[in-house]
Structure 1
């Protein structure tokens, strides 16, 4: 009884938000994001920990994905194209790490890339019968070509070789939109089973924490961090890419939380979501 009672305010708020026009929803999303940033700034003293937290949440999402593939023996609802884009930007970022900075994140990216390649192999070869190829119909060139062109035009102004700087920009832009094919699959199916929903929600939380890390770092340094990244449009594009990653998944995360508080095991998405 207590559980159902505690859910009533959540449903009341969710119902009220659902009835609002798009502009009001967008305003509420921005206000909620700013409130969350203010809360994180207050409770997290070292904002570098937010980036570590983002990596940890992403790792949890990957563990959920591995469990789904190994225990459930199905890849239904998963996008092979999203995993392909993830592998591409991770491979490019690894190359940039080796030739430009090489730190602990290089090791983390290596582990993530290996896991992603294993997921791709499992979907394509071992569980191909359950792969929804007809639903995974987002053309990859829709994101790869624009990201490549944008990287040629707007990239870091550091002292590194021009090719490496373009690669760096490309992986930043591609990461921001790599989840789009996964969202297309969920949009086509309208019903998202639990483990896929958990995985995508973990991606959303990780993206928000990563975005919060960048925004709070910029605030803490009073904009000096953007100057350290170089001049021109590149610093702003880095920050914009982080924000885009967060808002791409914001709508899905809202319905995920609504479904979770409602006690529903299967997430049903209304038309127009994601």
Structure 2
């Protein structure tokens, strides 16, 4: 066992000594390698999106266990859950009027569980809610997304309001986790169930991002033109990438904690 741990320890020590720019470069390199691996192994890249939904559902299941069994919502951001409910509600409306499919049913289930989580935090487990640490004002997140959606939205033949709403939910989804990250940064220590949930979000975002990137590569860019013209296709892809990178830093510390045999994730200052 000691022999197997030495190479891991050596890699961790080497990585820790690298300057920030080198760490970013290595992270991008690892991401590209993971994309290449998924492209070779997964033949139907649409299944990556379904896998992302499944991992997200798994993360919510961890939350449900935490709230029902542990009877505490410490470490969870009510604001992130409310932002999630908002973008899911808007996306459901857009799905019904624009493109009803299987993902609509998945979103309905996710919205239902998210509303239940909000109810538990706001009413049943309010005494354990860390209100002082959930201090990122939601208008810092919602207003920029709303303004951006007014100027950059799909160019389809649907009603203008529906197209703006669709863009709004795409942008809001990309940054809805920011209040949760702020809570964890303020607390410095992330307990296991919250850490599992956020890590699941990170994996789901990477799979969703991989789905879009590989689809663009497979169609040689035709997918972007199918989404419309102007800046909108690029901003859809950019939103997916932003979601992934927002959670990438936390996922690094999560894996680092697991490799080190720790269940609790400790975040240094400046991570979020």
Give the TM bin, normalised by the shorter chain: over 0.9
Once the two structures are superposed, residues 184-229 of structure 1 have per-residue CA deviations (whole angstroms, 9 ceiling, x without a partner) of 0000000000000000000000000000000000000000000000
- Report the 3-state secondary structure (helix = DSSP H, G, I; strand = E; otherwise coil) of the residue aligned with 2:156: coil
* Equivalent residue runs for 1:192-231 within 5 Å: 192-231=190-229
CA 1:154 to 1:130, structure 2 compared with 1: closer, same or farther past 3 Å?
Answer: same
Q: Distance in 1 between matches of 2:4 and 2:253?
A: 18
The equivalent residue for 1:23 is 21
Map residues 120-159 of structure 1 onto 2, 5 A cutoff. 120-159=118-157
Q: How does 1:97-108 map to 2 (within 5 A)?
A: 97-108=95-106
Aligned structure 1 segments of 4 or more residues deviating by more than 4 angstroms: none
Name 2:76's counterpart in structure 1: 78
Residue 241 of structure 1: how far off its partner (Å): 0.2
Partner of 2:32 in structure 1? 34
SS of corresponding position for 1:36: helix
Unaligned runs of at least 5 residues, structure 2: none
Equivalent in the alignment of 1:47: 45
Which residue in the other structure is 1:244 paired with? 242
For residues 8 and 164 of structure 1, the distance between their equivalents in structure 2, rounded to whole angstroms, comes to: 56
Residues 1:115 and 2:96 are matched in the alignment: no
CA contact (8 A) 1:80 1:136 kept: yes
* SS of 1:251 mapped into structure 2: helix
Distance 2:204 2:65 in 1: 19
Find the aligned partners of 2:133 and 2:105 in 1 and give their Cα distance.
34
2:165 aligned partner = 167
Q: CA RMSD in A?
A: 0.9
Give 1:5 deviation, angstroms. 4.1
Shift of 1:23: 1.1
CA deviation after TM superposition for structure 1 residue 272, in Å: 1.3
Query: Which of 87, 91, 94 is the matching residue for 1:93?
Result: 91
| Structure 1 unaligned spans of 5+ | none
* C-alpha contact 1:7 1:262 (8 A) present in aligned 2: no
TM-score (norm 1): 0.98
Structure 1 residue 231: deviation in Å? 0.2
Query: Whole-Å Cα distance in 2 between the matches of residues 52 and 6 of structure 1?
Result: 35
Aligned length: 272
Q: Distance in 1 between matches of 2:199 and 2:187?
A: 17
Query: What does residue 61 of structure 1 align with?
Result: 59
2:180 maps to which residue?
Answer: 182
For the residues of structure 2 that align with 1:218 and 1:149, how far apart are their CA atoms?
Answer: 27
Q: Are 1:197 and 1:256, in contact at CA under 8 Å, matched by a contact in 2? A: yes
Within the alignment, does 1:12 sit opposite 2:10 as a pair? yes
Cα distance in structure 2, aligned partners of 1:130 and 1:205: 28
In 1, Cα distance between equivalents of 2:3 and 2:111: 44
CA distance in 2, matches of 1:5, 1:81: 46
Query: Does residue 272 of the first structure (1) align with residue 270 of the second (2)?
Result: yes
* Cα separation, 1, equivalents of 2:8 and 2:161: 50
- TM-score, length-scaled by structure 2: 0.98
Relative to structure 2, which stretch is displaced further, 213-222 or 259-268? 259-268
- How many angstroms apart in 2 are the aligned matches of 1:160 and 1:136? 37
